[in-house]
Structure 1
Amino acid sequence: MVGSQYGQGSLRYFFFHGNHGDIPIPPHMSVDAKILVFNGEGQILLGENLEDSPSRYHFNNGIYDSMDGQNERPLPAKPLVEKLLKNVSVPSLVAAEVPSHQMGIGLQTLDPFLYVAVLVLGRDDLRPCTANDREYLAVMMQAFVPRVLATMAPIASEYLPGDARNLCIEVANHMELIENDFNFQTFIAMYRGRYVQKPLPQRAVVELCLLHVLKMPFELNSAIQNSLIRY
């Protein structure tokens, strides 16, 4: 299935939070975001300190031209990331699976696929992200996203739309083997408080969160064809 639509090898991505945006972009705009690149073990290869303020990505006539006022700062997987920055809701957290040779930046890795996480926290023509959302998404990016990516990477070649329920169970099984830490427990408690209305064991909460993420993978070319990505 390598290279097939939605299969491994296509530029497919998953929403951990948020969705595609539906508000037209202005000719000139800035997007506040954090962009991290992970390997298949969930380790950060490129990115910012999660405790720092997000970077500001400026667009001129829809084309990315600078980051924090510095021109010619490269974007990882630019054909995908540039479009995600412009075409998602605020706030959003998206993770994309990218063949290593399509990253467009020099990274020392033997992994055939890498993962780019894009956390969009603001856009200068939209209402700013709330402090509660910022805190929740920061914890999600730090404690939950790397675990999901590290668990999915070895089995990603088998994943296609329609497998979400079984994949959630398999991913949750593997995640139980990863040592729990304070940040992970904090994230699960935050997710439970925001979205779970009845008492559930932690395993059920994890599966519920995974299902939200994995039930609908998107792929760049089909998203453009279906006008989910318009700019």
Structure 2
Amino acid sequence: MARTGPASIGLVEDDSRVREALVTILGAAADLRLAGVWANAEDALQGWAKECPDAVIMDINLPGASGIACVRGLSQRWPAAQFLMYTMYDDDQRVFEALKAGANGYLLKSATPADILHALHDLLQGGSPMSASIARRVVAYLRPPAVGREVAEARLTPREQEILALLAEGLLYKEIGTRLSISEAAVKQHIHRMYGKLHVQNRTEALNLYFGR
């Protein structure tokens, strides 16, 4: 169902100065409506049902239960709600705990008022806004680890290393099978497993990685 009026925004922040600043920022946006303001997770969990905001700005370091625990509890009961973590913490543990708990975005408190409003609008449109440094952490976490020759050799069986060396000579699968006295199908199976271990898609990527090209 399409929204017909301003989007409702909840705010969970224990620092009164930060809370007041956010209230001012939200109050200046004509398409956003402040639906609830809470200073801790317990009050938010208790008062949520009365307001049911479309999106919430959530601090992490709250007195009592953390903002991450609050998101986990609220997202289980109201899965349609969108949660934007707003915090000074940029360490991997908190970032990924928050995302696993149900957070849809992660913004550092160094963000400007324009950044905050842009993040909320992005969130409400189905995006996952993140501060640039946080987005880089997420990308780095998802990227397969770099594999050098020593690591590759540790991951590959002696037979797979033999096949990789023959691939480097330019031999075809059938020729490798003949050289090693195994079937072409067996060669293909070894290569498939080897590519998986090295996180590559083809012969060129495997050789470039192994030989550091």
Q: Shared fold (TM-score greater than 0.5)?
A: no
Structure with the bigger RCO (C-alpha within 8 Å, sep 6+) is 1
How high is the TM-score relative to the length of structure 1? 0.23
How high is the TM-score relative to the length of structure 2? 0.24
More strand by share: 1
Give the number of the structure whose alpha-carbon radius of gyration is greater. 2
More helix by share: 2
